Amino acid sequence: MDIKKSAPISVISIQGQNCTGCVTSTLCSEYPSIENLLLRDIIPGHKLEFAFHPNIMTASGKLAMEILENAAKKKGYVLIIDGAIPTASNGVYCITGEKDGRKYTILEETLKLSLDAMIVIALGTCASFGGIAAGNPNPTGAQSVGDVFSTNDIKTPLINIPGCPPHPDWLFGTIEEILTGGLENVQLDDFKRPKTYFGKLIHENCPNRAYFDEGKFAKKLGDEGCLYELGCKGPITYADCPKRLWNGRTNWVIGCGAPCNSCTSPEYPDFLGDFYERIIDLEVPANKRKAKIQENKFLGR
Ligand code: FSX
């Protein structure tokens, strides 16, 4: 079969404040494989060209910065930003690179590179919503890419792919949707998350849902029952983990017997209570107990 080839889409990937979990997770992609992702087509007829990627490129120092400068000359690239953007003290807390004695911050690279991008993808919860990097007391003034865009009136289309870390399918599936159907093909929710992956609550597809409806709750890890009493945030978390599964479709957090900590939510982690603390003010069918999201105990919200 003849496959019509498109010109490769240039991808620039830059990294803010993070643990590198987002890149580590997404580069473990199975479909497409890492080989197809980097060397061949992401889907038949469509190829990505990773022009700059701090984790997989071999260049460093001045050479790397020159590669970044040259990559940016070719406008219309996909810009992937993972990690939050520190904004305090002119962003000095996160340096992308150095050239001729001059340090370049992730803040200024974000502001500069976003302008000529076709699309900016905020990869991971830190980039999408601030996440752990912006956790209280946030001494570096870490912000999400979206907040940096708002403050600086940047209008480039933005898609958030949260998750701490995100699933590889959420990133590359979204890029595939763009390549095959254009930007307008990607339906986003109010938090700019693709509905394909973040359109349903964990709770809607949870294999423990019947236990929840019956009011059968695990009292300690390893017990049979819904993990709600052990802090599971599935009832308020939008992601398709129960159906998609992780690590080559082998399992996922609740399948391992651990509660979901809502890492794809804008409120993660400060505004959701402790990982093993039950959410309150949630309507629990079996006993009609009122519950609500734990109020933030640090900031008085
Ligand atoms: Fe944050 Fe990502 Fe969690 Fe880590 O880039 S979303 S801490 S998995 O690495 O930024």
Kindly report the protein residue whose alpha carbon is nearest to atom 3 of ligand 1.
Answer: 164
What are the structure tokens assigned to 252, written together?
Answer: 């996922």
Same domain flag for 205 and 177: no
Question: What's the whole-model pTM score?
Answer: 0.92
Chain segment 214-267, per-residue pLDDT in tens: 999 999 999 999 999 999 999 999 999 999 999 999 999 999 999 999 999 999
Decide which of 196, 225, 246 is a domain's last residue: 196
Q: CA 220, CA 236: separation in Å to the nearest integer?
A: 21
19 lines ligand 1 (CB under 6 A): yes
| Domain end position, chosen among 196, 219, 241 | 196
Cβ count near 251 (within 10 Å): 13
* Number of domains making up the chain: 2
Pocket test for ligand 1, best of 15, 18, 85, 261 (most atoms within 8 A of CB): 18
Q: Are 189 and 246 found together in one domain?
A: no
Contacts 24+ apart (CB under 8 A), 221-224: 221/257, 221/258, 222/257
Helix 61-73 to helix 106-115 angle (10° resolution) is 20
- 76 and 157 share one domain: yes
SS3 139: coil
Instruction: Report CA(217)–ligand 1 centroid distance (Å).
Output: 31
Q: What is the CATH number of the domain that holds 233?
A: 4.10.480.10
Please give the number of the atom of ligand 1 that sits closest to the Cα of 84: 10
Q: Residues 71, 144: one domain?
A: yes
Read off the pLDDT of residues 10-58 as tens digits, 9 standing for 90 and up.
999 999 999 999 999 999 999 999 999 999 999 999 999 999 999 999 9
Task: Look at residues 196, 224, 255 and tell me which one is the last residue of a structural domain.
Answer: 196
Q: What is the CATH number of the domain that holds 55?
A: 3.40.50.700
**Same domain, yes or no, for 143 and 204?**
no
- In a domain? residue 188: yes
Alpha helix segments (H runs only) across the chain: 21-26, 34-38, 61-73, 106-115, 125-129, 145-151, 168-181, 195-198, 202-205, 209-214, 241-244
What is the residue whose two structure tokens read 């900590």?
261
Atom of ligand 1 nearest to the CA of 23: 5
100, part of any domain: yes
Residue type, 170: W
Whether a cis peptide bond, with omega within 30° of 0, leads into 162 is no
Dump pLDDT digits (tens) for 159-210. Answer: 999 999 999 999 999 999 999 999 999 999 999 999 999 999 999 999 999 9
Question: What is the 165 CA–ligand 1 centroid distance (Å)?
Answer: 6
Identify the domain containing residue 250 by its residue range. 200-294
Same domain, 185 and 262: no
Residues 138 and 271 grouped into a single domain: no
